Amino acid sequence: MSKNFEFKRSLNIFKAEFKMRFKGTIIWLALIVGMMAMYMLMYPVIDDIMGEKLALMPEELLQIFGMSKHSVVDNYNSYFAMIYQIIFIILCCYGVSMGANALYDEEKTKSIEFLNSVQVSRLEIYVGKFLVIMVNLLILVMGSLITTILCGLVVGEGTVDNMAIISVYKISGITLFFFVALGFFLASFLKKDIKPSMAGLSILFVTYIIGYLGELVADKIEFIKMLSPIHITSASAIMDSTMGIGTIDYNLLPVAIITLLMLGFIVGGAVLYRKRDFL
C-alpha cells in the first residue's frame, strides 16, 4: 500500500466508481426530475384545490410537515417550497445511504483487501469515493433546480422568483452534503455487524421528527427545533425569510454550525478510516 497520498490515484478511483454508478445515477435523476416536473406542472390546478383543503386542517398538523394554511398556495415559489421539502428529504436519505454504503460495500465485498494490496492508500480510497457521492448528489440537485425553473416559465404565472429558488437550493444543499459526510463518518468506525446506512437513516429521521415536534412547542422550548438540520434548512423556512420572498430574517448561525459539523465528519471519517481494521 502506498504511504504517500496522491490525488491522481483518488481521481482514478473516482472515475472507475463514477462509471460503475452512472446507470444508477441516471435512474435517480430521472425519478427526481420526473417527480419535480409532475408536481410543479400541476401548480395551476392545485393552487385552487389545495387552498380549500388546507383551510380545514389544523395548523399544528401542517407545521409537522413544514406547511402553513396560506403560504403554500400563494404563489409558485411557496408551492415549490412545499414540494421540494418532500424531494429534499428523499435526497437526504439518498446522501446518507450512499455515503455510508460507499465504504461499507468495499468491506462487505472484500474488494478493500485488493485495494490495500496495490499502490492505493485508504485516504485515497476515501477521497475518491467521497467525491463520487458528492458529484452524483450534485447532479440530482442540479436536475431538480433546472426542472423547477423551467416549470416556472411554463406555469409560474408571473409569481416566480428564480433567485429565491436558487437560495433554497444553495442553503439546503449544505444539509444534503452534511448527511453524505455523516454517512462516511459512520462507515469509518461502526462494527461490521452494524449497517452504517441504517444508523445514518435512523439519525436522519429522529432529528427530522424532533425538529418538527419542536415547532409544536416552539413557544416553550425553542431550541429543540434547532437539533434538526432538515428543519433548519427547510425550503419553507428559507422561502419565508429574506433569503427567499419573505420578510423574516434568516439566522445563518445554525447553518454555519451544520457546515462545521460536516467538515468535522469529513476529516474525522478520513482519520478513522485510515486506522480501521478490516480483518
Q: Which residue has the cell 475518491?
A: 128
pLDDT number for residue 98: 95
Helix, strand and coil content of the chain, in percent to the nearest 5, comes to: 75, 0, 20
pLDDT number for residue 103: 87
In sequence order, which residues have a C-beta less than 8 Å from that of residue 50 and are 6 or more positions away? Answer: 72, 73
CA distance 223 to 72: 25
pLDDT number for residue 229: 93
List, for residues 55-76, the tens digit of each pLDDT value. 666 665 555 555 554 445 668 9
List, for residues 76-100, the tens digit of each pLDDT value. 998 899 899 999 999 999 999 999 9
Question: What is the share, in percent, of the chain residues with pLDDT greater than 70?
Answer: 81
Contact assessment for residue 178 and residue 229, using Cβ atoms and an 8 Å cutoff: yes
Question: What is the share, in percent, of the chain residues with pLDDT greater than 90?
Answer: 50
Indicate the pTM of the whole model: 0.87
List the chain domain ranges. Answer: 7-275
The C-alpha R_g of the chain, in whole angstroms, comes to 20
In sequence order, which residues have a C-beta less than 8 Å from that of residue 116 and are 6 or more positions away? Answer: 1, 122, 278
